[in-house]
Amino acid sequence: MKSIAMKLAQVFAMSAVLSVPAYAAMSEADVEPYLKKQGCMKCHAMDKTKKGPSYKKLAEKFKGKPDSEAKILKNLTTSPMVKLEDGTEEEHKEIETKDKGDLKAIANWIMTR
């Protein structure tokens, strides 16, 4: 039987491993699954209009403009009122992540569809 001290040592070793932040900003491949989880796809599809414009449309709108990233992130972080395709208005969904790197990756993903 293992001593309590050894067990404790194991527990500490494990929690040390688990608490190491295996963290880096989202990569391009992480963005789509994340937006799905956030419910963005309910209103935005890749290339057809739902309650909101498609990502292709958004990319066309934002491509190659210097202030696009700021505009996209403003829309995602300040809950502005937006008009849905059916004519009703509601506050735009605020994205959950507050990480600057993630937000940049998301804005870039949207601009490059």
- Point out which residues bind ligand HEC (CB under 6 A): 35, 38-40, 42-44, 51-53, 58, 71-72, 75-76, 82-84, 92-93, 95, 110
Least distance to ligand HEC from the beta carbon of 39, Å? 5
Taking the complex as a whole, how short is the minimal distance between the CB of residue 103 and ligand HEC, in angstroms?
A: 10
- Residues 86 and 51: beta-carbon distance below 8 Å: yes
Q: Hey, which residues does 90 pair with through a beta bridge?
A: 82
- The distance of closest approach from Cβ of residue 67 to ligand HEC in the complex, given in angstroms and rounded to an integer, is 10
**For residues 4 and 84, which CB has a smaller minimum distance to ligand HEC in the complex?**
84
With helix as H, strand as E and coil as C, how does 35-78 read?
HHHHCHHHCECCCCECCCCCHHHHHHHHCCCCCHHHHHHHHHHC
| Closer residue to ligand HEC (CB): 14 or 84 | 84
Instruction: Pick the closer one to ligand HEC by CB: 15 or 79.
Output: 79
Residue type, 71: K
Return the number of the residue (4 or 89) whose C-beta is nearest ligand HEC. Answer: 89
Cα–Cα distance measured from residue 2 to residue 110, given in angstroms and rounded to the nearest whole number: 54
Residue where the block lists tokens 């210097």: 66
